[in-house]
Structure 1
Amino acid sequence: MIKQMKSRRILSLGLAAMLVFAGCSTQQKSATDNNSSTAAQSTSLPSQNPAEKVELTVSAAASMTDALKEIQKAYETKNPTIKLNFNFGASGALQQQIEQGAPADLFLSAATKNMKVLVDKQFIDSTQQKKLLTNELVAVIAKDTKVSIGSVSDLSKAEVKNIAIGIPESVPAGGYAKEALTNTKLWDTLQSKMVQGKDVRQVLQYVETGNVDVGFVYKTDALTSQKVKVAFAVDPKTYTPVEYPIGIVKATKHSKEAEGFYTFLQSKEALEVFVKYGFSVLK
């Protein structure tokens, strides 16, 4: 009787052990299957990382500031993976920066001579640049000024104390002004009155703040300010036509994106913005 009870107890323990072992095996298999399924799902899921933005550096003449800022909004809306960074300044200074290796993907100049230098020195390919816009040179005075100026000859008046122009060697507007004053035989006689600005926007600021009586800027600059008015338009026969070429810098690391913006600047949409700000389109 005792032997039978012992046998039954041993049998029960054996069955229990077998059930426990079977349960563990099932759990291990289930965990393995779950891990395999999770791994497979992870492998099949697409990347959730958003596309990185490409940043383009555009070195542009200061006189294009307002038009390009509006164009920037339209372009970045249409091309969300592109970020435009503008470096505004005097065309001559921007040209020198590019020659010295400063980062730039495109160059927008207010004078053909600055673009020509970069093409000649092979910083810009001649097939990836073109003349796009024209502008006009005007003399502006503050709206509340009491000085009477209506023509270039009035600059010789004693009441005109200071005349602002961009540095002729680096600021195209200053170069055009010097050329016009030289051709009207006034450059030498007005030297004592000259105040030079680092770019055309600084010249405009000098007039706005009353630091000078008159300043030579582009028509497009005059249109951006509520504090100045045009005293007179400079005779276009006295200075070289103001032409704006655009080009792609060879050193760009984003050729495709640079070409895309270069093409957009020549589109009807972009040209309409330039015209809105007073530029004329070269035919």
Structure 2
Amino acid sequence: MRCLIAALAFCALFTAPVRAEGVLVFAAASLKTALDEIAAGYEDTTRHEVTISYAASSVLARQIQAGAPADLIISANEDWMDVLQGEDLIEVASRVDLLGNGLVLIGAQDTEPTEIAVGLDLITRLNGGYLAMALVDAVPAGIYGKAALQNLGLWNDVEGQIAQTDNVRAALALVATGAAPLGIVYRSDAIAEDRVGVIGTIPEKFHPAIIYPAALTISSGPEALSFLTYLQGDEAQAEFLRQGFSLPEG
């Protein structure tokens, strides 16, 4: 009987499906469209599973601080990654500036475009409605957007007419569904949503550089490094560029 059991166990090693190794990624909400596509390509190539949790970078950082078992984090803001690094929650040697992005003012598809510059009459364009933005004091897209409005001299005019959301994709949705006439989102978000149009691109001189740092966490498994390396490869980077992201210089 023991021999039979041993033989069956030996056969099972070759007939049972091998459990796929996987990686849990915490990623900024603005990455969803591009990263879903890239992760699918990685899974097809490696047969390893990628699970991605999307949220605002601030939320993701706090979850890791609370002990969430992420293998890899991709933030839309260097400051939140700095917080995790300062608390020894990421593998510093793995940290890399993965992507860049830009800010745009969006509206309905047929909204008339304009140059984004000092003196823009944003209040008239809102026409009593609200400007959709991610949380301006916590979420990277909102922080960048607030800085741009301040540098454009528009913040005091519109501060009372801002609809703040938990993440940038929620702000995008407000404009896409007509709940808000205008919004400030990333360039990549506008490309991902057919129901909105870009009114104008906010010049980079009006806001801090938008950088997406990525890093392994201190609890990361062996598959995480493989996926992080894949994200820096030609195929993944080509997809990021197609989706409206940029690649950091150098």
- The TM-score normalised by the length of structure 2 is 0.91
1:114 and 1:177 map into 2 onto residues whose CA distance is 17
Q: For this pair of structures, how many residues does the alignment match?
A: 245
For the pair 1:60 / 2:61, whether they are aligned, the reply is no
Mark the CA change 1:269 to 1:43 in structure 2 (over 3 Å): closer, same or farther.
closer
Once superposed, which parts of structure 1, at least 4 consecutive aligned residues long, lie more than 4 Å away? 35-46, 147-150
2:104 and 2:154 map into 1 onto residues whose CA distance is 16
For the pair 1:69 / 2:72, whether they are aligned, the reply is no
State the Cα distance separating 1:220 from its structure 2 match. Answer: 0.5
For the pair 1:248 / 2:227, whether they are aligned, the reply is no
2:91 and 2:59 map into 1 onto residues whose CA distance is 20
Answer whether contact 1:56 1:84 (CA < 8 A) is retained: yes
SS at match of 1:190: helix
- Deviation string 1:39-74 (CA, Å, 9 cap, x unpaired) is 886586462332212232111011110111111111
Determine which structure has greater relative contact order: mean sequence separation of CA pairs < 8 Å that are 6+ residues apart, divided by chain length. Answer: 2
Partner of 1:109: 75
Q: Give percent identity, aligned residues only.
A: 33
Structure with higher Rg: it is 1
SS at match of 2:214: strand
Answer whether contact 1:124 1:247 (CA < 8 A) is retained: yes
Which amino acid in 1 is paired with 2:40?
K
Gaps of 5+ in 2: none
Q: 1:143 aligns with which of 101, 109, 134?
A: 109
Q: CA RMSD in A?
A: 2.1
Equivalences for 1:120-269 in 2 at 5 Å?
Answer: 120-145=86-111, 150-151=115-116, 153-157=120-124, 159-252=127-220, 254=221, 256-269=222-235
Partner of 2:56: 90
SS at match of 1:233: strand
Mark the CA change 1:52 to 1:162 in structure 2 (over 3 Å): closer, same or farther.
same
2:193 and 2:6 map into 1 onto residues whose CA distance is 63
Answer whether contact 2:27 2:52 (CA < 8 A) is retained: yes
Which amino acid in 2 is paired with 1:83?
E
158-167 or 130-139, larger mean C-alpha shift = 158-167
Mark the CA change 1:43 to 1:194 in structure 2 (over 3 Å): closer, same or farther.
closer
1:39 and 1:167 map into 2 onto residues whose CA distance is 60
1:102 and 1:38 map into 2 onto residues whose CA distance is 44
SS at match of 1:188: helix
